[in-house]
């Protein structure tokens, strides 16, 4: 007769795993079953047809599309997605720069500077993000009112409705300038690579930075003037209720930008500090004894090794920032959760479909960021020797 | 064996977590208080006073229901809801009745599966603007920044109004009336639009209410009323007739003060039926027959509730207007109590 021998480790493992998978499958089955039962009972018909209905409401902050109330809910989604990506992108860049600076300052031998960085980190990372967002927003909407805007010349106006700035208007011939810029950058990259090879072979150094900057700045500038200065600026002018013309950054965006980058930067700075401290002290002493200057030690010895430690947790911080951007709803930033996940959901009542779309969108954004960061991470890992 | 036991356990769990379909009235009676959804704070309609007691026009609807069910108008627990959370909160059964300046519309009534039990305030959407801007009409608002509560019918009306008049605006979306007020007073937006009653409440909280004016345009019909979930008609009837009782009481001149003397001196059979002196009307939906008496005695008639919370002697200074009884040229008209 077949007898189960529980002392057999392999068999036990298989049994336990089967059990766990079975329970999990049953739980999912039950969840789906009871949800569909309850939906049916409430006459709730799942479907995505509502996406084509006109939205009926307006979204004012839409820098990439023009949005009107007759547009469909799909467009609401796209506008929200664009705004989410925009704030995440600029937020990640600002947080990275700020975080690296603070992290390095924290390790500075200057007592005052490193204490200040310490205070910054402890304050910003220990106060809930949503409170910081509300703080920035309260600060910004208590700036001077429209009529008393802080003016910087005739071009920039700061008030409690945001920052108005001139808008560049590109003429048709500006395409030549664009081509010139791309050309100049390509040439500099090729030149840099060649110069590096020459340096590796012969030790001869070129003033790379100087040459590259000059070529990237000068060449397009010359083309710009030859093409007849095809760039004009439209200045904002106060007419009636608001500034007309120019570009406008609303306080909701500024508060989000400040809040997200300042908050995340404190975590990044700790990651950077950990990364730098993880580099063996002997490495620094060795490079000093070779006669390298402090900034060369940083650039050539410390940073490349620290990056291996920094990148994986930095990826998590980028993901956090992106997901935290959904807190924009608290201050009325028109992101994905606010417009599509909020107003559309409310008007159409299709909560399940809307939430499924919003959640899978965040999942896809996060996985994409993680994917590219992982590629970068692989590229800087130590080669096996 | 183990698998069998666990799946049996799960089946048991799923059996018990299937929504139990008991009547709302039984639930409320077993619980001992009515759960009522109100705004997060709108002066005159629903706002806690200095000692933390909820006061207001919408609050009194819930108090009337509690007086009808328990004979005690204090047996209410208030839950705050925003424009966005109010419907899910009601649908999930977290509250028994929603009394929150909610506009009765077709899709909310039919598609969302709610039952509006009547109209307790006839309102319309208006615009509140600083007098110093010198704007005389909403059609002069071209280019203005407008504060608007998201997830409301007013948001859609606003878009329609500006489109119909071919003028533009910048919408400043906010979640609650408090946020809108802060933004408006700070000058983040030029104008705030919501139901005229809500605007009166907002202006009443300004340092100097005279600095704020309502524009003459009323751009929509906003019949506001309490609502309950579809499917429990007994509970719907209880809430409906709690409101109707207050309306009839005003028509008949019954107030919380004169109720007892009127009952002693009067021979009007409808008053007797309303207060439970005659007939078994309360028993028809499982309440005591004097539920009407309790409502009028403890909460008052519609006119009393109106004047006490939002009337001319309050900071809101709202006139009765459409909300007068039909006998005074208003729209309040309850079916007869018989």
Predicted pLDDT at A117: 96
| Count of CB atoms situated within 10 Å of the CB of B199 | 27
Q: What is the CATH number of domain B125-220?
A: 3.40.190.10
Predicted pLDDT at B23: 87
Cβ contact, residue pair A34, B14, below 8 Å: yes
The β-bridge relationship of strands B54-55 and B47-48 is antiparallel
Predicted pLDDT at A230: 80
Whether the predicted pLDDT of B272 surpasses 50: yes
Cβ contact, residue pair A332, B163, below 8 Å: no
DSSP state of B34: E
The counts of H helices and E strands in chain A are: 13, 8
B-chain residues near A346 (CB < 8 A): 83-84, 87, 150-151
**Which of B318, B101, B137 shows the shortest CA–CA distance to B224?**
B101
B-chain residues near A145 (CB < 8 A): 187
Per-residue pLDDT reduced to its tens digit, B242-259: 999 999 999 999 999 999
Whether the predicted pLDDT of B122 surpasses 70: yes
Q: Look at A333 and B14; give whichever has higher pLDDT.
A: A333
Going by pLDDT thresholds of 50, 70 and 90, the confidence category of residue B189 is very high
Predicted pLDDT at A49: 86
Per-residue pLDDT reduced to its tens digit, A224-248: 888 888 888 888 888 888 888 888 9
Beta carbons of B74 and B113 less than 8 angstroms apart: no
d(CA A92, CA B220): 44
**Which of B238, B298, B230, B225 shows the shortest CA–CA distance to B26?**
B238
Predicted pLDDT at A2: 62
A-chain residues near B186 (CB < 8 A): 141-142, 160
Beta carbons of B116 and B225 less than 8 angstroms apart: yes
Beta carbons of A244 and A235 less than 8 angstroms apart: no
Q: Which residues pair with B55 in a beta bridge?
A: B47
Nearest residue of A to residue B150, measured between CA atoms = A343
Beta carbons of B169 and B141 less than 8 angstroms apart: yes
The answer for residues whose C-beta is within 8 angstroms of residue B274's C-beta and 6 or more apart is B245, B248, B249, B252, B254, B292, B293, B296, B337
Whether the predicted pLDDT of A80 surpasses 80: yes
B-chain residues near A142 (CB < 8 A): 186
Residues within 8 A of B (CB atoms), A 263-292 only? none
Cβ contact, residue pair B190, A241, below 8 Å: yes
**Which of B172, B166, B175, B196 shows the shortest CA–CA distance to B184?**
B172
Of A38, A242, A329, the CB nearest to B145: A242
A-chain residues near B170 (CB < 8 A): 60, 242
Nearest chain B CA: its distance from A329 CA (Å): 8
Whether the predicted pLDDT of B56 surpasses 70: yes
Nearest chain B CA: its distance from A59 CA (Å): 7
Predicted pLDDT at A101: 94
Of B3, B112, B188, the CB nearest to A141: B188
Predicted pLDDT at B16: 45
Whether the predicted pLDDT of B17 surpasses 50: no
Nearest chain B CA: its distance from A348 CA (Å): 9
Q: For residues B31-51, give the mean pLDDT.
A: 93
Instruction: Find the helix or strand (DSSP H, E) in which A96 lies.
Output: helix A73-106
A-chain residues near B150 (CB < 8 A): 338, 342-343, 346
Least confident of A224-233, A352-361, B270-279, B302-311: A224-233
Per-residue pLDDT reduced to its tens digit, A360-385: 999 999 999 999 999 999 888 876 55
Average pLDDT of every residue of chain B: 89
Whether the predicted pLDDT of A135 surpasses 90: yes
Cβ contact, residue pair A242, B113, below 8 Å: no
Judge whether A332 is closer than 8 Å to chain B, CB to CB.
yes
Cβ contact, residue pair B7, A26, below 8 Å: yes
Predicted pLDDT at B77: 95
Chain A, chain B: beta-carbon pairs less than 8 Å apart: 100
Judge whether A19 is closer than 8 Å to chain B, CB to CB.
yes
The beta strands (E) that lie in chain B are given as 34-38, 47-48, 54-55, 76-80, 97-98, 114-116, 121-123, 125-130, 144-149, 169-174, 191-195, 212-214, 222-224, 227-229
Of B6, B158, B188, the CB nearest to A160: B188
Distances (CA, A) of A257 to A11, A261, B196, B257: 55, 6, 36, 59
Average pLDDT of every residue of chain A: 89
d(CA B173, CA A60): 9
Nearest residue of B to residue A343, measured between CA atoms = B151
Count of all residues that appear for chain A in the document: 385
SS3 assignment, position B46: strand
Nearest chain B CA: its distance from A200 CA (Å): 59
Going by pLDDT thresholds of 50, 70 and 90, the confidence category of residue A118 is very high
Going by pLDDT thresholds of 50, 70 and 90, the confidence category of residue B203 is very high
Beta carbons of B89 and B338 less than 8 angstroms apart: no
Predicted pLDDT at A1: 55
First to last CA, chain B: 63
Cβ contact, residue pair B112, A349, below 8 Å: yes
Nearest residue of B to residue A26, measured between CA atoms = B7
Whether the predicted pLDDT of B162 surpasses 50: yes
CA B236 to chain centre: 15
Per-residue pLDDT reduced to its tens digit, B208-225: 989 999 999 999 999 999
Per-residue pLDDT reduced to its tens digit, A243-268: 888 889 999 999 999 999 999 999 99
Going by pLDDT thresholds of 50, 70 and 90, the confidence category of residue A66 is confident
Distances (CA, A) of A357 to A28, A349, A350, A353, B17: 20, 14, 11, 6, 27
Q: What is the residue extent of each domain of chain B?
A: 15-122+224-328, 125-220
Per-residue pLDDT reduced to its tens digit, A29-65: 999 888 888 777 766 677 888 899 999 899 988 888 8
Predicted pLDDT at B88: 84
Cβ contact, residue pair B151, A346, below 8 Å: yes
A-chain residues near B114 (CB < 8 A): none
Fold of the B15-122+224-328 domain? D-Maltodextrin-Binding Protein; domain 2 (3.40.190)
Predicted pLDDT at B7: 53
Percent share of chain A, pLDDT over 90 = 50
Whether the predicted pLDDT of B1 surpasses 50: no
Cβ contact, residue pair B172, A329, below 8 Å: no
Question: Helix, strand, coil % (nearest 5) of chain A?
Answer: 70, 10, 25
Going by pLDDT thresholds of 50, 70 and 90, the confidence category of residue B21 is low
Q: Which of A58, A60, A344 to mutate: most B Cβ within 10 Å?
A: A58
d(CA A242, CA B90): 40
Nearest chain A CA: its distance from B40 CA (Å): 15
Cβ contact, residue pair B173, A38, below 8 Å: no
Q: For residues B85-110, give the mean pLDDT.
A: 89
Beta carbons of A366 and A319 less than 8 angstroms apart: yes
B-chain residues near A59 (CB < 8 A): 171
Radius of gyration of chain A (CA): 28
d(CA A244, CA A236): 6
B-chain residues near A141 (CB < 8 A): 182-183, 186-188
Q: For residues A175-201, give the mean pLDDT.
A: 88
Residue located via tokens 């009952």: B263
Structure tokens at B211: 């600095």
CA B110 to chain centre: 19
Q: Which of A332, A334, A347, A352 to mutate: most B Cβ within 10 Å?
A: A332
Of B88, B159, B186, the CB nearest to A57: B159
Domains and CATH numbers, chain A: 73-166+251-380 (1.10.3720.10), 167-234 (no CATH)
Same fold, B15-122+224-328 and B125-220: yes
Predicted pLDDT at B15: 45
Nearest chain B CA: its distance from A294 CA (Å): 49
Nearest chain B CA: its distance from A13 CA (Å): 15
Spell out a b/e string for B313-336, using b for 16 or more CB atoms within 10 Å of the CB, else e.
Answer: ebebebebebbbbeeeeeebebee
Predicted pLDDT at B251: 93
Going by pLDDT thresholds of 50, 70 and 90, the confidence category of residue B8 is low
A-chain residues near B159 (CB < 8 A): 56-58, 69
Beta carbons of B200 and B154 less than 8 angstroms apart: no
């Amino acid at each position: 007769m077949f007898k189960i021998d529980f002392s057999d480790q392999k068999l036990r493992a298989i049994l336990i795993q089967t059990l766990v998978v079975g329970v999990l499958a049953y739980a999912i089955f039950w969840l789906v079953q009871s949800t569909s039962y309850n939906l049916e009972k409430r006459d709730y018909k799942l479907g995505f047809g509502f996406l084509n209905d006109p939205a009926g409401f307006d979204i004012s902050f839409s820098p990439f599309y023009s949005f009107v109330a007759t547009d469909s809910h799909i467009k609401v989604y796209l506008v929200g997605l664009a705004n989410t990506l925009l704030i995440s992108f600029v937020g990640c860049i600002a947080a990275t720069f700020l975080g690296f600076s603070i992290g390095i300052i924290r390790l500075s031998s200057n007592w005052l500077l490193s204490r200040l960085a310490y205070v910054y980190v402890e304050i910003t990372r220990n106060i809930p993000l949503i409170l910081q967002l509300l703080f920035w927003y309260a600060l910004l909407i208590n700036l001077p009112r429209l009529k008393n805007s802080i003016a910087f010349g005739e071009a920039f106006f700061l008030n409690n409705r945001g920052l108005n700035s001139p808008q560049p208007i590109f003429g048709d011939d500006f395409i030549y300038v664009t081509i010139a810029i791309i050309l100049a950058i390509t040439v500099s990259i090729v030149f840099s690579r060649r110069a590096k090879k020459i340096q590796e072979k012969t030790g001869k150094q070129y003033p790379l930075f100087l040459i590259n900057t000059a070529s990237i700045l000068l060449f397009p500038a010359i083309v710009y003037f030859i093409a007849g200065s095809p760039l004009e600026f439209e200045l904002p002018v106060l007419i009636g209720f608001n500034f007309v013309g120019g570009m406008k950054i609303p306080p909701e965006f500024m508060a989000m930008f400040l809040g997200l980058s300042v908050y995340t930067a404190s975590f990044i700075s700790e990651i950077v500090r950990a990364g730098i401290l993880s580099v063996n002290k002997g490495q620094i002493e060795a490079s000093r004894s070779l006669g390298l200057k402090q900034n060369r030690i940083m650039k050539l010895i410390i940073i490349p090794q620290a990056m291996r430690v920094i990148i994986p947790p930095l990826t998590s911080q980028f993901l956090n920032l992106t997901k935290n951007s959904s807190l924009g709803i608290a201050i009325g930033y028109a992101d994905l959760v606010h417009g599509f996940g909020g107003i559309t959901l409310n008007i159409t009542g299709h909560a399940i479909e809307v939430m499924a779309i919003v959640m899978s969108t965040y999942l896809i954004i996060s996985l994409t960021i993680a994917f590219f960061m992982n590629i970068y991470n692989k590229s800087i890992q130590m080669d096996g020797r | 064996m183990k698998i069998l036991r666990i799946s049996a356990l799960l089946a048991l769990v799923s059996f018990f977590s299937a929504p139990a379909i008991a009547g709302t009235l039984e639930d409320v009676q077993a619980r001992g208080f009515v759960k009522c959804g109100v705004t997060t704070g709108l002066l005159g309609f629903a706002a806690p006073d200095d000692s933390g007691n909820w006061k207001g026009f919408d609050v009194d609807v819930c108090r009337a229901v509690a007086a009808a069910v328990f004979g005690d108008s204090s047996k209410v627990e208030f839950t705050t809801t925003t424009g966005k959370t109010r419907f899910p909160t009601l649908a999930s059964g977290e509250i028994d009745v929603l009394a929150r300046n909610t506009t009765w519309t077709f899709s909310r009534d039919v598609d969302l599966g709610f039952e509006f039990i009547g109209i307790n305030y006839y309102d319309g959407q208006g615009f509140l603007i600083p007098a110093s801007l010198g704007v005389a009409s909403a059609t002069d608002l071209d280019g203005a920044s407008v504060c608007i509560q998201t997830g409301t019918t007013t948001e859609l009306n606003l878009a329609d109004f500006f489109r119909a008049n071919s003028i533009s605006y910048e919408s400043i979306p906010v979640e609650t009336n408090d946020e809108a007020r802060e933004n408006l007073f700070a000058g983040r937006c030029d104008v705030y639009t919501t139901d005229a009653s809500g605007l009166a409440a907002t202006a009443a909280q300004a340092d100097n209410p005279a600095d704020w004016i309502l524009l003459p345009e009323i751009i929509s019909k906003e019949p506001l009323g309490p609502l309950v979930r579809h499917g429990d008609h007994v509970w719907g009837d209880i809430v409906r007739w709690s409101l109707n009782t207050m309306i009839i009481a005003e028509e008949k001149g019954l107030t919380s003060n004169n109720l007892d003397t009127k009952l002693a001196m009067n021979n009007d059979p409808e008053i007797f039926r309303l207060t439970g002196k005659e007939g078994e009307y309360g028993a028809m939906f499982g309440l005591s027959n004097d539920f009407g008496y309790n409502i009028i005695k403890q909460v008052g008639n519609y006119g009393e509730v109106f004047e006490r919370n939002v009337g001319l002697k309050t900071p809101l200074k709202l006139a009765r207007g459409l909300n007068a009884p039909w006998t005074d040229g208003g729209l309040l008209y309850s079916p007869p109590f018989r």
